[in-house]
Amino acid sequence: MNERQQKQIFDDWLEKHRGILFKIVRANAFNVHDREDLFQEISLQLWRSIPDYRGEAKPSTWIYRVALYAAATWVRKETKRPQTSSLGELEQTLIAAAQPTDERLDWLYEQIGRLEPIDRSICLLQLDGFSYAEIADLIGISQSHVGVRIHRIKRHLVNQSQELNHHGV
Partner 1 sequence: MEFEEMQVIWNSQNDEKLYAINEQALHDRIRRKGQSVNRLVGIFEWIMIVANLLVGVVLAVEAFYDQEPLLYYVLPALYLAYGVFALVRRLTRRKAGERFAPTVLGELDKALWQINFLINQSRTIIVWYLLPIFLVASVYFLLNGKWLWALVLGLVIFPATFAGSRWEVNRYYVPKKRALESLRETLLAPPPG
7: helix, strand or coil: helix
Instruction: Find out whether 121 and 68 touch, Cβ atoms under 8 Å.
Output: yes
Choice between 85 and 142, CB closer to partner 1: 142
Nearer to partner 1, 7 or 83 (CB): 7
Cα-based distances in Å from 64 to 49, 57, 61, 140, 159: 12, 11, 5, 13, 28
Between 61 and 84, whose beta carbon lies closer to partner 1? Answer: 61
Q: Are 93 and 39 in contact (CB under 8 A)?
A: yes
Site residues (CB under 8 A) for partner 1? 7, 10-11, 14, 18-19, 22-23, 26, 40, 43-44, 47-48, 56-57, 62, 65-66, 68-69, 72-73, 76-77, 80, 91-97, 99, 102, 104-105, 108, 116-119, 121, 127-128, 137-141, 145, 148-149, 152, 154, 157-158, 161-162, 165
